[in-house]
């Protein structure tokens, strides 16, 4: 539908492009600014005036972070919890989703009803805290994994997908002598890549970004800290005392400002790498989620 465009239309278009460019820059610039800070020499960065490019380029901030045992351990913890939880959660949620997608399953209605309840009712902060405590999960790595394995929302998303698969698939597998567990692991999971990828990404982003369970349950054991929690601690301490840096084992002066910037960039990088490629899955996941009700 190409036709002659009037001057008014052109101005309108130009305005829209300008508006969007401003919107896009305003979302990305803060990240760029921190990147510039993190790549600039510390004492120089404190003088200000850094906008688009580092003035005195250096990687010392990154080296500092990578030499800091605490931060390295936090990175390992973050990666571990993300990987383990993603695999476990997708497998377990998918397993229940498969069972519930079987129309002849004997407790289909009952179990679905129980799941719906969990979406709306929860014990709340303190009863959950006491439960975790009495289960002996305080100050353990398991507290990152165990409580969060099952989520009704993911189960419903996966069930919706499994229900759309042809029914003959399961029946022919039965005839070939497979049992339900084998059908689930060998057939259903493999042909359901879109929904598995969607849920996996949701879980992974969620795990990578969480810090509150660390704050609540594991704040006494520094060895179990995750990256986001280290960052969170920095926001709340650095603002008040900007000269506190316990392990300054060298002539280098590193200010909390550049370290914060560096850590923020490092925490964001994995997501930056992953998400443009997987955007379509996220969007699909959103629409799947929207259909739930």
Partner 1 sequence: MKTNTMTDMETMRPSTNITAVRGSRFWKRVRKQHILLWMSVPIMLHLALFQFVPLWGWLMAFKDYNIGQSLWEAKWVGLEHFRTLLGHDDFIKALRNNFAMNTMQLLVGTLSSIGLAVVLSELRSKTFVRIVQTMTYLPHFVSMVVVANIFVMLLSPDNGLVNELLIKWGWAEEGIFFFGKATWFWVLHTIILSWKGFGWGAIIYLAAIAGIDPSLYDAAQVDGASRWQRVKYIIIPCIMPTVILLLILSIGNLMTGGFESQFLLGNVINAEYSEVISILALRLGLNEGDFSFGTAVGIFNSVVSLTLVLIVNAIARRYQANLF
- Compare residues 83 and 271 and give the one whose CB is closer to partner 1: 271
Should residue 239 be labelled a site residue for partner 1 when binding is judged by CB under 8 A?
yes
- Compare residues 12 and 57 and give the one whose CB is closer to partner 1: 12
Should residue 234 be labelled a site residue for partner 1 when binding is judged by CB under 8 A?
yes
- Compare residues 243 and 249 and give the one whose CB is closer to partner 1: 243
CA dihedral 229, 232, 234, 239 (to 10 degrees): -160
Q: CB within 8 A of 271, min separation 6: which ones? A: 205, 208
Measure the CA–CA gap between 87 and 145, rounded to whole angstroms: 11
> Residue 129 CB, nearest distance to partner 1 (Å)?
6
Q: CB within 8 A of 132, min separation 6: which ones? A: 138, 143, 147, 217
**What residues numbered 55-94 form the site for partner 1, per CB under 8 A?**
92-93
Per-residue x/- mask for partner 1, residues 38 to 57, rule CB under 8 A?
--------x-xx--------
Q: Out of 68, 209, 219, 245, name the contact with partner 1 by CB under 8 A.
A: 209
Should residue 177 be labelled a site residue for partner 1 when binding is judged by CB under 8 A?
no
Should residue 136 be labelled a site residue for partner 1 when binding is judged by CB under 8 A?
no
DSSP letter (8 states) at residue 40: B
Tell me if 100 sits within 8 A of 155, measured CB to CB.
yes
- Compare residues 26 and 249 and give the one whose CB is closer to partner 1: 26
> Can you say how many angstroms the Cα of residue 37 is from the centroid of all Cα atoms in its chain?
24
Q: Out of 90, 143, 267, 288, name the contact with partner 1 by CB under 8 A.
A: 267
Tell me if 157 sits within 8 A of 285, measured CB to CB.
yes
Should residue 191 be labelled a site residue for partner 1 when binding is judged by CB under 8 A?
no
Measure the CA–CA gap between 293 and 282, rounded to whole angstroms: 19
Count CB-CB contacts under 10 A for residue 85.
Answer: 21
> Residue 79 CB, nearest distance to partner 1 (Å)?
15
Specify the DSSP element, H or E, that contains 170: helix 167-175
Number of amino acids touching partner 1 (CB under 8 A)? 92
**What residues numbered 94-123 form the site for partner 1, per CB under 8 A?**
95-96, 98-100, 102-107, 109, 111, 114-115, 117-118, 120-123
């Amino acid at each position: 539908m190409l036709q002659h465009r009037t001057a008014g239309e052109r101005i309108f278009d130009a305005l829209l492009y300008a508006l969007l460019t401003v919107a896009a820059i305003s979302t990305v610039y803060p990240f760029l600014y921190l990147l510039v800070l993190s790549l600039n020499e510390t004492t120089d960065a404190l003088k200000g005036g850094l906008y688009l490019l580092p003035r005195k380029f250096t990687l010392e901030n990154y080296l500092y972070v990578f030499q800091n045992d605490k931060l390295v351990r936090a990175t390992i913890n973050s990666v571990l919890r993300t990987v383990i939880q993603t695999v476990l959660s997708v497998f377990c949620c998918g397993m229940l989703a498969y069972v519930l997608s079987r129309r002849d399953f004997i407790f289909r209605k009952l179990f679905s009803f129980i799941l719906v309840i969990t979406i709306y009712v929860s014990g709340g902060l303190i009863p959950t805290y006491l439960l975790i405590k009495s289960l002996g999960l305080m100050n353990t790595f398991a507290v990152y994994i165990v409580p969060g394995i099952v989520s009704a929302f993911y189960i419903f998303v996966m069930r919706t997908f499994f229900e759309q698969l042809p029914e003959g698939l399961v029946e022919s597998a039965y005839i070939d002598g497979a049992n339900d567990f084998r059908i689930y692991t060998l057939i259903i999971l493999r042909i359901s890549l879109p929904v598995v990828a969607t849920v996996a990404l949701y879980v992974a982003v969620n795990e990578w970004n969480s810090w509150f369970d660390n704050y609540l349950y594991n704040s006494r054991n520094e060895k179990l800290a995750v990256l986001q929690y280290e960052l969170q601690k920095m926001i709340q301490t650095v603002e008040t005392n900007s000269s506190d840096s316990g392990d300054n084992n060298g002539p280098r002066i590193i200010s909390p400002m550049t370290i914060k910037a560096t850590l923020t960039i490092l925490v964001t990088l994995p997501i930056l790498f992953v998400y443009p490629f997987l955007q379509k899955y996220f969007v699909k996941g959103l629409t799947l989620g929207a259909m739930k009700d």
